[in-house]
Structure 1
Amino acid sequence: MPEPEAATPVVGSTAITAEVIVVGAGPGGSSAAAYLADRGVDVVLLEKSSFPREKVCGDGLTPRAVKQLIKLGIDTSPEAGWTRNRGLRIYGGRTEPFELNWPELAEFPPYGLVKARSEFDKLLADRAVAAGARLFENTNVTEPIIDQLSDRIVGVVAKDGRRFTAPIVIAADGNSSRLSVSMGLTKLTNRPMGVAVRAYFTSPRSDDDYMESWLELWDGKPGESNLLPGYGWVFGMGDGTVNVGLGTVASKADKAGQNYREMFSRWVAATPEEWGFRPENQLGPILGAALPMSFNRQPAYHRGLLLVGDAGGMVSPFNGEGISYAMEAAEMAADAIADAKFRGFGSPSAEAALRGYPTRLKSEWGGYFRLGQVFVSLIEHPQVMHLCTRYGLPRPTLMRFTMKMLAHLYDTRDGDWMDKVLTALTKVAPSA
C-alpha cells in the first residue's frame, strides 16, 4: 500500500481546502472531526502540538462521558486499556466516607472510566483520522482569514504561514481560544470560573473501584484545622499511580485569586502517610488549568465560527466536568454543519441550520448551567460547604439526589421522582 500524502505542506504553498476546519484536537475537536467525517463532510483537524501530549485533567470520566465514547464506537472494556469504576466515594461531614454507585438509568451506562489524557486524546484523534479527517499536528493557528465581502471566517493561518480554507470553522482551542478572541468573542466575567491543579503519585491506592471526591479540604486534621475553598479528587489509574487534584470555583471570573499549588500541597500533606501523597512519590510537577463555565463565551455560532468545549465555556459549574460537554457539543455542531452542507453552504437556509446550534446547546444545558451558577454562589464559601456536608451527607436519599444533580445523571423521560424533579428544575430555570 502506498504511503499517504504528506500532511504538512511547504510554507508558501497553496492553501489546504476543506469543508470544515477544526482548530484544536482535544476531546471536543477530535469528536467533532470524527462526527463530521462520519456524516460525509470533508474535515481538517489542526493541533498545535503533537500526540501524545499532556493535558491538565482529572482523568476520570463519568457515565455521561462514557456515553459519548460508546456513541463514537470506542471500545471501553478493560481489555482495551480502560480502568472502570462503580461510582463515587465521597469524603465530607464525617471521618468515614460515603460510597454511592452510579445510578441505574436508561440514558447513561452504569460505570465510569479512568484513562490518562495523553492516551485519551490520542485515541479520539485516531478515531477522527480513521473516519476520514485529515490531521495536521504541530500546526499553531494564529489568526482567522476573513472574507471582506461577507465579513465571515473562511479559513485560518498557521504560525509557519500555512493557510487552511473552508466555509465553516470550529474553534475547539481551549479556554483562551485565541481564534474566538480574534473574531471578537470575549469572555463574560459574570460567569463562574474554576481552577484545577493536579499531580500524579505512585501509591498503593492505584487500583480502586470508585472515583473519590473530597467535599471538604482541610489543611490539617479534619475538624481541627482550616477549611480550604474547594474540592478534591483521587482517581486510581490502575498502573501503580493515582491522579490527585484540587479544584476551586468562584461565582464570577474576577473573584478568583488563590495560590492553588500551595493550597494543593497543604491539603495532600494532611492525607494519611500510607497513601503515599508525598513529594518523594510525586511524578512530575503540579500542573493547573482554568475551567471556563456556564457558556462564558457567547454566542456559540458567529460569522461562520462554531465554538466547542472550553472555547465556549462548556464546563459544568456543579462539578467542573468539561469532557462530556465538549463531546456532546461536538455531536450537536456536526449535526448542524452536516445539515447546512446539504442545504448549501452560504444559503439562508444553511445559515438558519447553523444558528440552531447555540439554540440547541441552551435548550440542552442552559437551565442546568443556570442552576449551577446559583449553586456556586452558595458553596464558594467553605463554611457553607461545611454545613451542607455535615447535615446533608448523612441522609442517603438526599445524597442520591445530590449525586444525580452534581453529575448531571438523570433520565429526562420516564425516570424516578428524583429525575422528574431535576428535569423540571432545569426546564423552569432561565438559560445561562
Structure 2
Amino acid sequence: MHDVIVVGAGPAGSSAATHLARSGLDVLVVEKTSFPREKVCGDGLTPRAVQELKSLGVVTTGPGWFPTKGVRLLGGDRRLELPWPNGGLGLTRTRADLDEILARNAVRAGATLRENTKVTAPLTANGRVQGVRTSTGTHKARLVIAADGASSRLSVALGLRPRRDRPIGIAGRRYFRSPRHDDEYLEIQLDLAPAGYGWIFGMGDGTCNVGVAFLRTDHPDYHQLCSRWLASLPPSWGFTEDNAVGPLRGAALPMGFSRRPHYLPGVLLAGDSGGMVNPSSGEGISYALEAGRLAAEVITTAFRSPFPEHVLRKYPAAVNRANSTPFALGRAFTRALENPHLMRLATHQGLAHPPLMRTALRLLGGLPT
C-alpha cells in the first residue's frame, strides 16, 4: 500500500512525485516506457516553467540548457521581438533529456520509479479508485494521480473523455542542423495557416526544433503544412532534408481543460491528461509542472486533515484559479483563428502595436505582469 501512485513520468507526474516525496509520503511512479524516450514538443520553456523547475530543485544551467530572451513574432511583412516580461528567463531543452531529468529528480527526492510498467486498469471499490493494475502486478494506494498524457487511458477507463466543446490541436515537430541554433528568441510565424502557426526554436547545440501547430478540424495534414512552410524559408537556414535529424513526428494537443472533472474519488488529473495545454500557444510544460505541484500541495494537506475528501475536492478549483484567465482567453483566441480575415487583421494590426502585443503575451501566456 502506497500513499500515492503517479501514472506517467512526464513533467506533471514527476513534479507531483517530487513534491510529494519531499513531504515524506510513499510515492510510486509507473511509466509505460523507459528513459530516455521521445516526446513531441517545441522544447520551449517559458519563465513560468523555469520557476517551476527551480521549485523542484532542478539545476537549469550547463550543457543542454539554452537560455532565451523572449518571443519573436512574424506575420506578413511585420516582425516584432517581445522580451520575456520583467526580465524573466526562458530556456530550451529537449524533452528526451528534460523528462528523464525530472524523473530522476523525483527518485532522488524519495519516489520509486518503475519503468516499462503499463497501467492496464484502475482498481476501484465502493466508487473510489484505490490503485492500479499494471503489466507487472497490482498496486494499491490511498490516492492515484493520472498524469499519463493526452490519451490518458486511465482517465478513459474511468469514463472521462475529452470534451467536444474544447479545442484540440495537432503539432508536428522535427530537428534540423542549422546556423540558427543559437538564436536567443523563440520565433513564431503567426500567419502560416488560418488556424495555425509555425515555430523555430534554437536548441544551442547546433540544431533547431522546427514545427507547426493548428486546430485539428482545419488542417488534418501537418506533414503537408510543414513541408510547404519549410520550402518557403531561406536555404541558408538549413531546414532541408540533408540537415534533418530524425523524422517529422506529430502529437495531439489537448487544450483548455478538455478533460474534466480533474478530481474523482481517489484520483486527480494533471497535465495533458486533464487537457492542461494553453489554447493560444500550445504550451503545456509549465501548466503540467504547476498542476503536479498543486496536486501535491492538496494531497499533502488532505492527508493531514480530519476531512481529507473535503480538501481533495478543492483541487479542480485550485487548477482553475491558476489558469482560468489564459485558458478562457485562449479558447476565444482559437475561435478567432478560424476566421482567416480576422486572424490576418489581428496579426498585422497587433504586430504594429508593440505595447498591445506585450499585454497579449502576458495575458494569453499567463506570464507575470
* TM-score for the superposition, normalised by structure 2: 0.97
The answer to whether 1:285 aligns with 2:247 is yes
The one of 318, 321, 325 aligned to 1:360: 318
Q: Measure the CA separation in 1 of the matches of 2:153 and 2:90.
A: 33
Q: Measure the CA separation in 1 of the matches of 2:102 and 2:188.
A: 26
String of CA shifts for 1:384-414, please: whole Å, max 9, x gaps: 2211111221112112112212322133xxx
String of CA shifts for 1:268-305, please: whole Å, max 9, x gaps: 11111100111121111110111111111111000211
The answer to whether 1:82 aligns with 2:60 is no
Query: Where does residue 107 of structure 2 map in the other structure?
Result: 129
Give how far 1:35 is off: 0.6
- List runs of 5+ in structure 1 lacking aligned partners: 1-16, 218-226, 412-432
SS of corresponding position for 1:233:
strand
Query: Where does residue 210 of structure 2 map in the other structure?
Result: 244
String of CA shifts for 1:226-269, please: whole Å, max 9, x gaps: x453111101111111100101126xxxx355111111111111
Query: Where does residue 332 of structure 1 map in the other structure?
Result: 294
The answer to whether 1:400 aligns with 2:362 is no
Note if contact 2:21-2:27 (Cα within 8 Å) is conserved in structure 1.
yes
SS of corresponding position for 1:244:
strand
Between the two proteins, what is the percent identity of the paired residues?
Answer: 50
Give how far 1:170 is off: 0.3
Query: Where does residue 262 of structure 1 map in the other structure?
Result: 224
Structure 2 counterpart of 1:36, which letter? L
Q: Measure the CA separation in 2 of the matches of 1:285 and 1:302.
A: 39
Give how far 1:366 is off: 2.2
Please identify, of 180-189 and 359-368, the stretch whose mean Cα deviation from structure 2 is larger: 359-368
Give how far 1:80 is off: 5.1
Note if contact 1:317-1:373 (Cα within 8 Å) is conserved in structure 2.
yes
The answer to whether 1:64 aligns with 2:22 is no
Give how far 1:209 is off: 1.2
Alignment RMSD (CA, Å): 1.4
Q: Measure the CA separation in 1 of the matches of 2:115 and 2:365.
A: 33
Query: Where does residue 6 of structure 1 map in the other structure?
Result: none
Q: Measure the CA separation in 2 of the matches of 1:37 and 1:132.
A: 5
SS of corresponding position for 2:209:
strand
Mapping of residues 26-175 of structure 1, within 5 Å = 26-77=10-61, 79=62, 81-94=64-77, 97-104=79-86, 110-147=88-125, 150-160=126-136, 162-175=137-150
Note if contact 1:49-1:139 (Cα within 8 Å) is conserved in structure 2.
yes
The answer to whether 1:200 aligns with 2:158 is no
- List runs of 5+ in structure 2 lacking aligned partners: none
Q: Measure the CA separation in 1 of the matches of 2:175 and 2:347.
A: 27
String of CA shifts for 1:346-383, please: whole Å, max 9, x gaps: xxx10011001011112222243122111110123333
Note if contact 2:302-2:312 (Cα within 8 Å) is conserved in structure 1.
yes
Note if contact 2:13-2:147 (Cα within 8 Å) is conserved in structure 1.
yes
Q: Measure the CA separation in 1 of the matches of 2:32 and 2:367.
A: 34
Aligned residues, how many?
A: 369
Query: Displaced runs of 4+ in structure 1, greater than 6 A?
Result: none
Q: Measure the CA separation in 2 of the matches of 1:142 and 1:256.
A: 34
Q: Measure the CA separation in 2 of the matches of 1:402 and 1:50.
A: 39
Give how far 1:159 is off: 2.5
SS of corresponding position for 1:290:
strand
Please identify, of 84-93 and 383-392, the stretch whose mean Cα deviation from structure 2 is larger: 383-392
* TM-score for the superposition, normalised by structure 1: 0.83
The one of 282, 295, 314 aligned to 2:276: 314
Please identify, of 372-381 and 173-182, the stretch whose mean Cα deviation from structure 2 is larger: 372-381
Give how far 1:152 is off: 0.8
The one of 372, 386, 394 aligned to 2:344: 386
Query: Where does residue 302 of structure 1 map in the other structure?
Result: 264
Give 1 or 2: higher strand fraction: 2
Structure 2 counterpart of 1:82, which letter? W
